[in-house]
Amino acid sequence: MRTIGVVVKRGRDQAIDLAKKLVAWLHDHHLEALIEPEHCSQIGGTAADKTAMIDRADLIVVLGGDGTLLSVARLMEKRPVPILGVNLGGLGFLTAITTEELYPMMERIIAGRLSIDQRLTLAVTLWRAGSACSQHQVLNDAVINRGVLSRIIDLETTVDGHDLCVYKADGLIVTTPTGSTAYSLSAGGPIVHPSLDVMVLSPICPHTLTNRPIVLPGTAVVRVKIRAPDEEVVLTLDGQDGIKLNNEDVIELRKGQMGVPLVQSATRQYFDVLRNKLRWGER
């Protein structure tokens, strides 16, 4: 391991201060540090944007929260680079490493003793007028939902070419196991262990009581056709990127060809994170 990318949460002084110390530590261990250009003057290191980091780095350290980690993971479509997420005070379900654990973890990683958890992604394709006009990758979820002033929308949904149903709802969440503890959980979806090869469809405020979340195999191809000629509909990717949809647009979702490798804590397991972050199982 020779090159480490460091991504910091924007507008967070704690992240900048920690990054300065980390870059100095990396230098002392004869490792090159790649830093986003806008932070190089404050932190040091070699300037590289996120895409360049993914091309060059052996490891990417994310200092911030889950949103910052997701912004890196969505770009990882050709080369899977291990991501070490360090939580700086928020919920941090994906960035599960504490600041106190950072340097012991780095010592283990440099020594080759790292535990990797391969996370499934979703490939999301927007079809408009019969043509694929954009393609995306998400680690958490893709959400189709109505605008603020819109009414209930119709989402004509098929699985592997077979009719599933027409969701009459505020929207639909299609999530990976990793994203099952995010928006989908708030909409009544199940918690899914990240080792499973599945995806979950969770309707948002469905008009019909029988429309409930459904778990599909990872081999499934889901197509959702928008039936909302007079309503505003938006596709949101990992809660960060939004795309305005047209009536009769089709969203195709399938397992991504490239997974995202997350470095796991040496002392904390998935169920520990559930209990600590979500207070899961408490009375």
Coil, strand or helix at 282: coil
Q: pLDDT grade, residue 89 (50/70/90)? A: low
What rounded mean pLDDT belongs to the chain?
92
The ranges assigned to domains in the chain are 3-119+259-278, 122-255
Q: Using CA atoms, how far apart are residues 14 and 26, in angstroms rounded to an integer?
A: 18
Q: What residues are annotated to the active site? A: 66
Give the tokens for residue 37.
């250009």
Looking at domain 3-119+259-278, what is its CATH homologous superfamily? Probable inorganic polyphosphate/atp-NAD kinase; domain 1 (3.40.50.10330)
* CATH 2.60.200.30, applies to 122-255: yes
Angle at CA 215, nearest 5°, toward 139 and 77?
A: 20
Work out the average pLDDT over 229-253: 94
What φ, ψ does residue 42 adopt, rounded to 5°? -85, -35
Does 257 or 267 have the greater pLDDT score? Answer: 257
Q: How confident is the model at residue 215 (pLDDT cuts 50, 70, 90)?
A: very high
In the structure, what pLDDT confidence band is assigned to residue 272 with cuts at 50, 70 and 90?
confident
97 CB contacts (<8 Å, ≥6 apart)?
84, 85, 86, 87, 105, 263, 265
pLDDT at residue 147 in the model: 81
pLDDT at 91: 64
Residue among 140, 125, 123, 127 nearest 177 (CA):
140
Higher pLDDT: 217 or 78? It is: 217
Distances (CA, A) of 21 to 43, 131, 171: 9, 49, 44
Q: Which residues pair with 167 in a beta bridge?
A: 155
CA pseudo-torsion sign 186, 189, 190, 196: negative
pLDDT for the residue numbered 34: 96
Angle ∠(179,175,177) on CA atoms, nearest 5: 55
The model's pLDDT over 167-196, given as tens digits with 9 standing for 90+, comes to 999 999 999 999 999 999 999 999 999 999
According to the model, what pLDDT value does residue 90 have?
66
Fold matches, 3-119+259-278 and 122-255 = no
Percent of the chain with pLDDT over 70: 98
